[in-house]
Each structure stands twice: as C-alpha cells, then as structure tokens.
Amino acid sequence: MGMTNDYPREIAAVNQMEPSPRRVRAVLNGRTIVDTTRAVYLWEISAFPQYYIPIEDVAADALVDEEHEQHLSRGRARRLGLRVGDEHRKAAARHYVESKLPGLEGLVRFEWDAVDAWFEEDEQIFGHPRNPYHRVDALRSTRLVRVELDGLVLAESRSPVLLFETGLPTRYYLDRTAVNIGALTHSETRTHCPYKGHTSDYWNVGDQRDLAWSYGQPYPAVAAIAGLVAFYNEKVDTFVDGRLLERPVTSFS
C-alpha cells in the first residue's frame, strides 16, 4: 500500500505508556512544584506524548482539590487546582484515582500552561514534552529549490538546507539573499518548537498570512537553519530539481 500525503505520520500508538529517564520539573510563581525522575510518557495522540507525574512528586501544599470528579476514557480522575502564594490556577490538573490503563492510577496530568515553566534536566522545554522517537535533521544540499505562489517566484536556491522532522513534510530553508524579500511583508507572529527553538520572524505574502518563517537562534541540533527562510509547502508551489511537489496535507494546510 502506498503512503498518503497526509501528516503527521504515526509515531507511537495512542495510549502507549513508558517511563521517561529524564528529570522533569515544573515551576509556578518562582517555586518548583514538580520534581521527579519517575515521569511517564503517555501518547494521548500518536504524534505527541504528555507527562504524567506520580502525585508523591508534586508539592502537596500547592494542590487544591476542586472536589470535582471526572469520568474519562482513561479512568476516573479528581480535578485539581494549583496555588502558590497569590497565584491560583484553576482546573490545572487531574489526578487519576481509578484507571482503565495499567500504571495510570496515582498519576497527575497537568495542563501544560497551568505552570510557568517546564524543564527536562536543566533545559526549559516549550509546547509539550519532547518525543523520544522524534528526530530532526538539518542537512545541507545542492538541490535546486524554487518556491512560487500563483506564478510569482518567492525564492530560488541551489544551496538549501533540508530539514527532515519525524511526522512532518520536508522543510526547505533558503538563504535570505535567495528570497524575493520585496514580495514579503513582516508579521508580528512568533512561535516556539520543542525541537527547533523560538522563531525570530514570520512573513505574509499578499493576503496569505504567516507563509514563511525563520529561526534566528535555533537549538544547536539544527544550527544549520539559523537565519534561513522556510515556506509552508502546504500553501505554495515548491519545485525541487525542476519537479513540482505535491502539496502536503497537515494542520497548517
């Protein structure tokens, strides 16, 4: 059976659980309220895991029992809030008191933004836990890449950096000197990626918003894309060595 052009590809099975070997911490209002080496990955969807934390590794005095039970697909849970000093976060987590999945009982699942910061070892992470099966490679190439929109050439380069990321289509990062900057207008959008870092720039093209982006200071693993510009190949026509690529179907389409 041939591959479809839909993304993301499956990385792990839904409800797959496995221990994380990393020290995981969470900070709220300047206080570390989670500090554990016993976190568990649970894939709620196939592409991205979430951390589930033993309740014994959460600061007990920061938890607020909201006296609300939830009957969920994975089991029965108590809804919890968080309070540290004058900071109160409602519906911040759920504590599984009964589970339909072996090993889930006694674990706490936090809403990611219910705390101020998450750390794996001593590195802050953003958006969601890094998937242990997720890989990102940035490789230099001499393939000819041309990007067009409605016949307008937006970029053309023989020295692209190809970024291969598990579960996503190949991204083509191009030198700014190879980009038709006059066709782009600056956007205030900024995003972050657990694997690449914080974007420094986004650009619109006509009425197409946030069509291109750049990482000024990406993480060391993908340092080759620093300052280069990539386009959503879901929304533009991308030619590689003269061949028009099919537009991939993703959440960005």
Domain limits of the chain? 17-125, 136-244
107: nearest Cα among 44, 48, 14, 46: 44
Instruction: Classify residue 14 by its DSSP letter.
Output: T
Instruction: Return the CATH number of the domain spanning residue range 17-125.
Output: 2.170.150.40
Q: Do the Cβ atoms of 234 and 242 come closer than 8 Å? A: no
Instruction: Return the CATH number of the domain spanning residue range 136-244.
Output: 2.170.150.40
In CATH terms, are 17-125 and 136-244 the same topology? yes
Rounded Cα distance, 27 and 21, in Å: 20
Give the length of the chain.
253
Instruction: Classify residue 9 by its DSSP letter.
Output: P
Residues of the chain with pLDDT under 50: 1-3
Element (H, E) at 212: strand 208-214
* Tokens (6 digits) for 246: 């099919």
* Tokens (6 digits) for 119: 């750390």
79: nearest Cα among 106, 99, 109: 109
pLDDT at 83: 98
Its pTM stands at 0.78
Rounded Cα distance, 221 and 231, in Å: 20
Question: What residues contact 160, with CB distance under 8 A and at least 6 apart?
Answer: 140, 141, 143, 145, 172, 173, 174
